[in-house]
């Protein structure tokens, strides 16, 4: 059986010491209620809900899966009751607009809440998770009537939402979408087409489901410039929300898949279903992009959640499982063997898991502050500046953290030995469940092209330079370092970090120059470049965490072991993880010739 305890001490360390969240909240009048007391109370209550209600449904939900019967989907036992508790606890409305019934707390707190629910039970968390995507779209692009009707109920949680983009022929290349939207002349449209792989596309948690659908108007331009966005409810309603007749939206089937089995992944057929346009005509993809970054951070979080759950359970097991003796002599002579945690290889896996989950959490919480800034921007210039920062960091978070989350889950399975492969222990489920995170919301390959192509080469490195300035500012900040009695120790993080930043800039310039003569270098280097970038970004946060830990230790603080452990973890990160950049640098700078030269007909002789 898996266990889970919300890592409250680590969360508070990030909120209070590393990222100064309470000063950040004070910048905005709207967030004045987000005080340490309130946030602590939220953390405690959310932890209880996740540990006691959601975690027990994680393995049973996987075993039972969702049921499909004649167009209706039923979620596994206990899911509906847990969802009702979630609504009753006010969790769905936490960080949404006061105007439409939300509690108006910062989006960053919603992210913290999502981490806890997602770690306890990712499949369950996907139902409210998809709703948040729909809410963000309607908040940003919906008109007053749409907000009044749909947003209020999504915020209450009485209805849930979906994102219907993918069709059988296209997931990445949405320019190929063929779903049609015919105007009815009364402001409504008839939507016809089939969407596949729709998470939370059908279920029994709520009476109505609000689909956000990409479709083409008649005579729309081909490709991505001819796609519009529509709201299509499963059940038609009056403007006051009273449910009416069914809306020609049917669930054709649900997928039998590798993991997240308790999350319904549905084929949804729209057959002249009535919907309304959201945002301007033919700007559907642009509208989607405005919240895509936040949705991608939500998926990046899945990597951290899996890393945390795998780490917590591996650590317990590694302390209990006895096998052979330590190479440096018996550590527990009164037992038949030493616990496997004494073995360097097992420790290396555990430490890797630890730095991935804590470093990943830091990356997410840093980014969550930027999301707050966007939501509170008073001018277009402010919004754009924050959006540029978010746009740069998002592909790194999404791809790097999901790849590392997958690595951590695999280490977890390995630490359990053969038992890791057996369902009862739950470790193989974490591996299966996290695997999707590198695929949906844009694959690792697509995030990598976005980073290197759009965010670096197309901006001539501006966003990288801006981020580098921030990191170098941290490295050079004399007062920060000299006020620290542990200045010398901090230097072992600061120097390699500064050097890594300089290399990162140089390599991107060299890649830009190479790409001028051979565009394939962008595609052959991009994933290595993204992972390379990820290790440097995570190093920045490990250095910050070490800095904060030293500052705490310089004072009269309780729980000194917590801060000492942080510094030792940072040491591990810099010695064992950051050097991975060296091999990535080598491969990303290598000419694509050996990748491209072999004729596809000669790849196999079967
Ligand atoms: C469990 C699950 C839940 C999902 N939930 C949703 C949902 O709620 N809503 C929704 O709309 N969709 C959803 N999806 C769909 C998901 O987002 C897509 O599967 C994903 O975007 C990839 O698209 P694809 O499957 O069509 O792969 P393809 O686009 O066919 O890609 C295949 C491979 O080719 C690579 N590739 C493609 N184009 C390029 C290129 N130009 N350069 C380099 N490499 C390239 C990709 O990286 C990938 O490795 C879900 C999928 C699954 C499996």
Residue 518 predicted with pLDDT over 60: yes
Tell me the CA distances in angstroms from 94 to 38, 157, 249, one per residue in order: 12, 11, 30
Say how far apart CA 404 and CA 307 lie, in whole Å: 8
Measured distance CA(6)–CA(540) in Å, rounded: 24
Q: Which atom of ligand 1 is the closest one to the Cα of 445?
A: 47
**Across residues 148-156, what is the average pLDDT?**
97
Is residue 486's pLDDT more than 90?
no
53, 167, 403, 441: the active-site residue: 441
What is the Å distance from ligand 1's center to 305 Cα?
Answer: 22
Does the pLDDT at position 8 exceed 70?
yes
Residues 550-586 have pLDDT tens digits of 999 999 999 999 999 999 999 999 999 999 999 999 9
On the question of pLDDT at 264 being above 90, the answer is: yes
Calculate ∠ Cα 470-371-127, nearest 5°: 140
CA distance 122 to 262: 9
Distance CA(216)–CA(56), nearest Å, equals: 43
Q: How far is the CA of 330 from the centre of ligand 1 (A)?
A: 51
Ligand 1, closest atom to CA 173? 29
Q: Is the CB of 199 within 6 Å of ligand 1?
A: yes
Nearest protein CA to atom 9 of ligand 1, as residue: 198
Ligand 1 centre to CA of 174 (Å) is 10
Q: How confident is the model at residue 479 (pLDDT cuts 50, 70, 90)?
A: very low
Give, using CA atoms, the residue closest to atom 32 of ligand 1.
172
Pocket flag, ligand 1, residue 461 (CB < 6 Å): no
At residue 487, the pLDDT reads 72
At residue 441, the pLDDT reads 95
Q: What is the largest CA-CA distance in the chain?
A: 83
Q: What is the pLDDT of residues 24-55, one digit of tens each?
A: 999 999 999 999 999 999 999 999 999 999 99
Residue 476's pLDDT is 86
pLDDT > 90: percent of the chain: 96
Burial 61-90 (b: 16+ CB within 10 A, else e): bbebbbebeeeebbbbebbeebbeebbebe
pLDDT at 399 (0 to 100): 98
How confident is the model over 423-443, as pLDDT tens digits?
999 999 999 999 999 999 999
Q: What is the pLDDT of residues 344-394, one digit of tens each?
A: 999 999 999 999 999 999 999 999 999 999 999 999 999 999 999 999 999
pLDDT tens digit string along 87-142?
Answer: 999 999 999 999 999 999 999 999 999 999 999 999 999 999 999 999 999 999 99
Taking residues 451-467, report their average pLDDT.
95
State yes or no: pLDDT of 485 exceeds 90: no
Integer Cα distance of 565 and 46 in angstroms: 26
| pLDDT attached to residue 294 | 77
| Tokens (6 digits) for 220 | 């729309």
* Runs of H (alpha helix) within 416-519: 427-435, 444-449, 462-476, 478-482, 487-517
Residue 65 and residue 432 in contact, taking contact as beta carbons nearer than 8 Å: no
Residue 290 pLDDT exceeds 90: no
Percent of the chain having pLDDT more than 70?
98
Nearest CA to ligand 1 atom 35: 445
Q: Rounded to two decimals, what is the model's pTM? A: 0.98
| Nearest residue to 156 via CA among 234, 199, 208, 201 | 208
What mean pLDDT, rounded, does the chain reach? 96
- Tell me the average pLDDT across 54-70: 98
């Amino acid at each position: 059986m898996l266990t889970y305890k919300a890592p409250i001490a680590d969360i508070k360390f990030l909120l209070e010491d590393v990222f100064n969240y309470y000063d950040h909240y004070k910048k905005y009048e709207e967030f004045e209620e987000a005080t340490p007391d309130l946030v602590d109370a939220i953390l405690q209550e959310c932890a209880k809900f996740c540990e006691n209600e959601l975690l027990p449904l994680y393995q049973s939900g996987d075993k039972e899966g969702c049921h499909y019967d004649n167009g209706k989907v039923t979620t596994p036992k206990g899911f509906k009751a847990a969802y009702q508790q979630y609504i009753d606890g006010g969790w769905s409305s936490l960080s949404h607009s006061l105007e439409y019934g939300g509690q108006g707390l910062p989006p960053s707190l919603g992210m913290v809440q999502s981490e806890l629910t997602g770690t306890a039970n990712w499949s369950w968390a996907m139902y409210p998770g998809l709703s948040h995507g729909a809410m963000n779209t309607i908040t940003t692009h919906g008109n007053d009537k749409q907000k009044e009707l749909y947003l209020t109920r999504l915020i209450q949680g009485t209805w849930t939402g979906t994102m219907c983009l993918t069709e059988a022929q296209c997931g990445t290349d949405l320019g190929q979408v063929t779903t049609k939207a015919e105007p009815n002349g009364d402001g409504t449209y008839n939507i016809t087409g089939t969407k596949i792989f729709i998470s939370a596309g059908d279920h029994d948690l709520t009476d109505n489901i609000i689909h956000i659908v990409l479709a083409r108007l008649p005579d729309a331009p081909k490709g991505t410039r001819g796609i519009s966005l529509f709201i299509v409810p499963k059940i038609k309603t009056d403007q006051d929300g009273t449910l009416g007749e069914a809306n020609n939206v049917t669930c054709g089937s649900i997928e039998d898949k590798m993991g997240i089995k308790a999350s319904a992944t549905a084929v949804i057929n729209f057959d002249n279903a009535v919907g309304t346009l959201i945002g301007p005509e033919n700007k559907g993809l642009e509208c989607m992009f405005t919240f895509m970054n936040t949705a991608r951070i939500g998926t990046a979080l899945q990597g951290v959640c899996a890393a945390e759950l795998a780490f917590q359970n591996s650590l317990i097991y590694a302390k209990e499982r006895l096998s052979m003796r330590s190479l440096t002599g018996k550590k527990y002579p009164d037992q038949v063997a030493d616990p496997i945690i004494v073995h360097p290889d097992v420790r290396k896996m555990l430490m890797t898991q630890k730095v991935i989950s804590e470093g990943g959490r830091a990356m997410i919480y840093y980014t969550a502050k930027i999301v707050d800034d966007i939501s509170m921007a008073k001018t277009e210039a402010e919004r754009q500046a924050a959006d540029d920062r978010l746009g740069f960091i998002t592909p790194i978070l999404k791809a790097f953290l999901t790849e590392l989350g997958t690595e951590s889950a695999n280490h977890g399975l390995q630490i359990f030995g053969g038992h890791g492969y057996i369902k009862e222990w739950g470790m193989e489920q974490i591996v299966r469940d996290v695997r999707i995170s590198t695929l949906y919301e844009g694959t690792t390959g697509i995030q990598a092209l976005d980073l290197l192509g759009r965010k670096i080469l197309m901006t001539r490195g501006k966003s990288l330079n801006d981020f580098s300035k921030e990191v170098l500012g941290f490295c050079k900040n004399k007062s920060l370092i000299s006020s620290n009695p542990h200045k010398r120790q901090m230097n072992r993080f600061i120097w390699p970090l500064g050097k890594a930043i300089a290399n990162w800039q140089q390599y991107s310039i060299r890649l830009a120059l190479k790409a001028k003569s051979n565009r394939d270098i962008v595609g052959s280097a991009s994933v290595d470049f993204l992972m390379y970038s990820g290790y440097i970004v995570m190093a920045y946060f490990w250095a910050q965490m070490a800095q904060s830990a030293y500052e705490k230790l310089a004072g009269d603080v309780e729980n000194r072991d917590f801060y000492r452990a942080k510094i030792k973890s940072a040491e591990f990160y810099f010695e064992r993880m950051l050097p991975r950049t060296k091999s990535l640098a080598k491969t990303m700078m290598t000419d694509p010739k050996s990748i491209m030269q072999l004729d596809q007909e000669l790849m196999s002789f079967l």
